[in-house]
Amino acid sequence: MQERTKEEIFQEATELLRQTKEEIQSFIVGQSEVIDQVLWTIFAGGHALLEGLPGLGKTMLIRTISEVIDLSFSRIQFTPDLMPSDITGTMIIEPDEVGKQQFVFHRGPLFSHIVLADEINRATPKTQSALLESMAEKTITILGDTKTLEAPFFVLATQNPIDMEGTYPLPEAQMDRFISKINVEYPSKEELKEIILRTTGTENPPLNKVMLRSDVLTIQKLVKEILVSDEILNFAVNLVTATHPLSENAPDKVNQYVQLGSGPRGLQSLIQMAKARALFAGRFHVSIGDIKQVANPVLRHRLLLNFEGEAAGVQSDALIHECIEAAQRAGVVSK
């Protein structure tokens, strides 16, 4: 049997990614950009936070992805009374074969490949923080015993805007654990009509499993092999440093409205997501366009506005646009 070349492996991965998106879109109406960003996040090996008003299909999108990709799936409905042990698992006293009492660990829903953290900002900060170790280290520690989560592992969380009643802002440390924050917008008139036709009729076509666990792991490995030139890396560094107030290339609006900019994890996420986007496009290298396209979902939750910025209602995406232009001027990049 002839061994496949590296180029053939990349082409097969790109085709598999295309089929995966097509299968998702056979059920989900519109939201093409949102689907792209979620898939880039997954194959970059990170976690995604989807924000939007109730009823926009955030949960349905994640459920659809879990059906198209053959991985174990669990859903956690976050509520104010949810406790950390409800998601990580707990030790329970049970009798053994001879009737002697012993502690037995019962796994929580975090022990899955895909974890849907639904309405994550409705739980208290104590429960939200229980996700930190699993998201950062891919481990869970219970009473001093550390358990490793099976790869791949990613959290796909949904949240309503924080100004809605009954929500708690996520801690900054946890926000930084998400590679991307994806805004789910209201559908167009045409998309609304199609949603009604698909959801109120009698036909409900089943979704096909397109990708196996081994495929996910292989593609995540291929993403890491995508090349990044010094020019692209310098552009990404200039972009991230432009988010820091009073830095050399920070735009005036960043100096005026931003309290804290992105840290090193933001730069890591920027490169990881750009690599995933490049593979989706069938390229072996990251382009300036890849960095620009992933900048908003990667950086929008990593800009902490000051009081003036909050009072003026400044949008993070507008500031990121300013930072992109500043990075281009710093590196004299035009494309």
Q: Which of 83-87, 279-283, 322-326 has the lowest mean pLDDT?
A: 83-87
For residue range 111-157, what is the model confidence (pLDDT) as tens digits?
Answer: 888 888 888 888 877 777 778 878 888 888 777 778 888 888 888 88
Mean pLDDT of 154-166: 74
Three-state SS letters, the chain: CCCCCHHHHHHHHHHHHHHHHHHHHCCCCCCHHHHHHHHHHHHCCCCEEEECCCCCCHHHHHHHHHHHECCCEEEEECCCCCCHHHHHEEEEEEECCCCCEEEEEEECCCCCCEEEEECHHHCCHHHHHHHHHHHHHCEEEECCEEEECCCCCEEEEEECCCCCCCCCCCCHHHHCCCCEEEECCCCCHHHHHHHHHHHCCCCCCCCCCCECHHHHHHHHHHHHHCECCHHHHHHHHHHHHCCCCCCCCCCHHHHHHEEECCCHHHHHHHHHHHHHHHHHCCCCECCHHHHHHHHHHHHCCCCEECHHHHHHCCCHHHHHHHHHHHHHHHHCCCC
Distance of alpha carbon 62 from alpha carbon 144, whole angstroms: 32
User: How far is the CA of 129 from the CAs of 90, 115, 151, 224, 236, in angstroms?
Assistant: 16, 15, 21, 28, 29
Name every residue whose Cβ is closer than 8 Å to that of residue 293 and which is 6 or more positions away in sequence.
Answer: 274, 277
Q: Report the pLDDT averaged over residues 41-65.
A: 83
Average pLDDT, rounded, for the chain:
82
Residue 1 banded pLDDT, cuts 50, 70, 90: very low
State pLDDT tens for residues 11-45. Answer: 888 888 888 888 888 777 777 888 888 899 989 98
Domains 6-80+113-138+147-200+209-214 and 226-331 share a fold: no
Domain locations in the chain as residue ranges: 6-80+113-138+147-200+209-214, 226-331
pLDDT at 225 over 60: yes
Tell me the average pLDDT across 62-87.
84
How would you classify the pairing of strands 89-95 and 304-305?
Answer: unpaired
Q: What mean pLDDT do residues 234-243 have?
A: 91
- Residue 331 in this model has a pLDDT that exceeds 70: no
Query: 302-314 pLDDT, tens per residue?
Result: 888 889 888 888 8
CATH number given to 6-80+113-138+147-200+209-214: 3.40.50.300
pLDDT of residue 144: 73
Quick one: pLDDT at residue 330? Answer: 77
Q: Flag the least confident range among 128-142, 189-203, 219-233.
A: 189-203
Handedness of CA 303, 304, 305, 306 (dihedral sign): negative
pLDDT for the residue numbered 291? 92
First-last CA distance in the chain: 43
> Which tens digit of pLDDT belongs to each residue from 89-105?
777 777 777 767 777 77
- Predicted confidence at residue 201, as pLDDT, reads 64
CATH assignment of 226-331? 1.10.8.80
